[in-house]
Structure 1
Amino acid sequence: MVQAARAPVLMLLASLVAPASAGTPPPELTASVEIATAGFYRLVWEGGQGATPVYVLQESRDPGFEAPRTVYRGTNQASVMSGREDGIYYYRVRVGYPGGRTGDWSAPAKVTVDHHPLARAITFFAVGGVVFVATVGLIVAGSRRARRESGREGSGRG
């Protein structure tokens, strides 16, 4: 008799402590770019409900994630990646809950890293140098001209 009375209470308790991931869709993962030429990119994910979800972000060079590497674990919903060599990278994220429960992996996001060629980078640097020197030259010339003109005005008054 006591056993039968406990059944509804146990069912209620079980429903309260059911995994937070049950019925919750996996996070949606997006990358700021599909082809990264600047040397960095941002990954953003949304989703994951429950008390203090911890996100796990994995990276792999293989679309099947045969040998994934965890690159982020925490409560933030974004991560900036940099320092990657040229190539294709795949990312996925899932939510971890207290007690060791985890949600499903997100659909993978694919980013191709293709840095600017060295010749282009040197050209950008050289153009920047020319602009810098021209700017300094204009400032110096303008300053000298202003001094000359103020000297003429001062001598002509007296």
Structure 2
Amino acid sequence: MTIMYELQRSRTPDFKKPLIIYNGYDKATFISGMPEGNFYFRVRALKDKQTAVTEWSDTIEVEVEYQSAFLTITLLFAGAGIFLAIVLVVIIGNFKTKEDLGVNA
């Protein structure tokens, strides 16, 4: 018998309005694009899309939290500044080496 898995997500631990976010044969899945907040997950095994083989698993709580836009932009500009500094050092070093060797640029 091939076992399927059903994964549910809810905003509340009692799963009054659950959302089925996965139903299939894989034992692992990747979830992205979730809004910030607390979410609750549970899973159960099925022998087909309707017939449960197991009860629901213990519920796990996941908190989704994003870093601030200010930090993101600060790190972006810091990385861009370091990248440009490295490019400048490479270009200057290239011309300096050519001058030292007496090669025309």
How far did 1:134 drift? 1.0
1:106 match:
57
Match of 1:90 in 2: 40
Moved over 2 A (4+): 98-101
In the other structure, the counterpart of 2:67 is 116
CA RMSD of superposed structures (Å): 1.5
Offset from partner CA, 1:29-77 (integer Å, 9 cap, x none): xxxxxxxxxxxxxxxxxxxxxx221111111111111100011111111
SS at match of 2:29: strand
Higher-Rg member (1/2):
1
For normalisation by structure 2, the TM-score amounts to 0.88
Stretches of structure 1 that go unaligned for 5 or more consecutive residues are: 1-50, 153-158
Q: Distance in 1 between matches of 2:13 and 2:96?
A: 64
Shift of 1:150: 2.2
SS in 2 for 1:79: coil
Instruction: Give the aligned residue type for 1:101.
Output: T
Secondary structure at the aligned position of 2:42 is classed as strand
Contact 2:6 2:20 in 1 (8 A): yes
Give SS of 1:85's match. Answer: coil
TM-score, normalised via structure 1 length: 0.60
CA contact (8 A) 2:10 2:17 kept: yes
- The number of equivalent residue pairs is 102
Matched, 1:130 2:90: no
